Structures are given as structure tokens and as C-alpha cells.
Amino acid sequence: MEIFKQIAPLRAYLKIQKERKLSIGLVPTMGALHPGHLTLIGNSRAENDLTVCSIYVNPTQFNNASDLAKYPRLLEKDSAMLEEAGCDVLFAPANEAMYAAASELKMDFGDLDKILEGKFRPGHFSGVGLVVSKLFNIVQPDVAYFGQKDYQQFAVITRLKEELLFDLRLKAVPIVREKDGLAMSSRNMRLAPDQRQRAIVFYQSLLLAKSLLEQGKSWKQIEEEVKRKCEAQPEVKLEYIALADRKNLNPLNNVTDRSAAVLLIAGYVGEIRLIDNLLLEE
């Protein structure tokens, strides 16, 4: 696996690969890799000649300084996992390479970044939009792969691609779950064993909401039941459970077309913030 920390040598290397007509898949990550990330790498390898994985803990997408400071950084271990998974290129830049000291550029995605995650993490999607644009510009991939766990992020990146005319294809890869259903996330490794047990409440709440919808309960009743279920667990705080349109994430109060709806949830276990989602129909 080739490892690059600087942009110019990576660009020069990729230029040669493109001249050789090799197709390129990009898997952007913030590291602390888990099997969910390796599934993204597997998808990219199956569909492209060359797979580039980026590992960069992007400061502009964190609205909480302590969350940024505590985000796990495990470059050596990640690098070994990528090598083992058959990744071709690792791009692991430092902040100086990615952001000019005086960078103040912001992105606004209209309604899409004011709801759900955007409401609870102001500025988050501006930071995601910025760093993903930089990565698309640097790597110029044919396809970029993202996990469906960050459902709203994928909607934002889809809009980014359309508005900035990035010439690439985006692919959302289904959530990879632990045996008990917990969505895999780099944040899970920060959970203490008892918190890890409780974290499953978010996935269970999605299943509960789905089944209550099927029984014809009102969305208001469902929200209340989910809140009760979550907050019966010590250290668990629900931020939101939402029923939304799959495409634009506008809130729904009932389901007329199951294939057009998604359930989304976010909350804390202790100080660890987790998100998850469930399509009403695959």
C-alpha cells in the first residue's frame, strides 16, 4: 500500500494511474477503522482498479472541542487493517495540508443542514462539505463510498456533488451491525462495557418505532414511547427520533409509501453521541 501525507505527491501518483486508465474508488474516513469501513473498502475494490482511503480527523466538522480531542486516532493500526484489506493507497494528511491557516470558507445546504444532525451540531455539515470537496478535488475519484449510518451526511454530499458538478458517482453502503444490532461506529470504542450494553437501545428504539408505525400508532405517541424507552436506561439521553422522507429528509407524520421513508435516531450514552437509522423498506 502506498502512503501519502502530502497532497502534491498523491496527485502526481494518481495522475499516472489515470493516464493508465485505471478507475479510482475513494473511501473517505476519519480513521479508527472497523468492519463497516472495511466493507466500504471491499465495495470499492470490487468496482474499481485502485482504492484510495483517506484518514483525516477533520476539525471543521466538530462543534464540540472535547469530542474532537477525544476522537480516537489509531493511524498505525488503521494502516495495518487497510493493508490487510487490500487497499492500494492511504492518504493521511496533517491539518496544515488540508486547511490554510486563515480558512474561513463556510457551506450552507439550506434546509438540509438545519434539521436533525444539523440542528444539534451547528456547522457540522459545512465542515463535512468542505473536507469532502477537498478530497474529491485532490483524488478526483470515479466513485466515492460512504456508510449509510451517516444518512443525512450522504444526502448533504449528494447535494454537494450536484451543486458543485463533481464528476463522480456516489455510493451509500448499508450499515454494518454488531451481533446485537448496534451500528458499527468509531465512537463505540469509547463506550465503557456497561455503556456498550445500553447503546443498543437506539437500534431497539428504531425497531420499536417501526413496529408501532405498522400498528397504526400516531407519530406523537411513538416519539413519547421511544423517549420513555431510552431514558429508562441510565446515562442515555435521546436527542431525536424522526420519521423522514428518504430523499430530502423532510419530517413525516405518517407513512403513505414505506419505500420513501426512513427512521433516524440520535442520542448520548454518557458523553458519547451515537446515531443510527432504519429504512422502513429495503
One-letter amino acid at 95 equals N
Helix (H, G, I), strand (E, B) or coil at 180: coil
CA 50, distance to chain mean position in Å, is 22
Among 4, 10, 26, 28, binds ligand PAF (CB under 6 A): 28
Q: In the 8-state DSSP scheme, what is residue 176?
A: P
d(CA 196, CA 187): 11
Q: Which is nearer to ligand PAF, 145 or 219 (CB)?
A: 145
Q: Which is nearer to ligand PAF, 146 or 203 (CB)?
A: 146
Among 51, 58, 126, 152, binds ligand PAF (CB under 6 A): 58
- The closest residue (CB) to ligand PAF is 28
Q: In the 8-state DSSP scheme, what is residue 271?
A: T
89 binds ligand PAF (CB under 6 A): no
Helix (H, G, I), strand (E, B) or coil at 240: strand
CA neighbor of 139 nearest in space, from 62, 57, 44: 44
29 binds ligand PAF (CB under 6 A): yes
The one catalytic residue in 14, 27, 32, 37 is 37
Catalytic residue list contains 124? no
d(CA 216, CA 254): 9
Residues 192-211 that bind ligand PAF (CB under 6 A): none
CA neighbor of 195 nearest in space, from 146, 235, 158: 235
d(CA 254, CA 244): 9
36 binds ligand PAF (CB under 6 A): no
Among 61, 152, 188, 277, binds ligand PAF (CB under 6 A): 61
d(CA 258, CA 255): 6
The window from 1-9, 27-35, 75-83, 228-236 that contacts ligand PAF (CB under 6 A) reads 27-35
Contact between 61 and 133 (Cβ < 8 Å): no
Pattern 102-141, binding to ligand PAF, x per CB under 6 A? --------------------------x--xx---------
Please give the radius of gyration of the chain, using alpha carbons only, rounded to the nearest integer: 19
Q: CB 144 → ligand PAF: shortest distance, Å?
A: 9
Q: CB 26 → ligand PAF: shortest distance, Å?
A: 10
The window from 26-34, 82-90, 222-230, 267-275 that contacts ligand PAF (CB under 6 A) reads 26-34
Q: In the 8-state DSSP scheme, what is residue 142?
A: S
The window from 24-32, 108-116, 197-205, 227-235 that contacts ligand PAF (CB under 6 A) reads 24-32
* Residues forming the site for ligand PAF (CB under 6 A): 28-30, 58, 61, 128, 131-132, 150, 153
* Catalytic site positions: 37
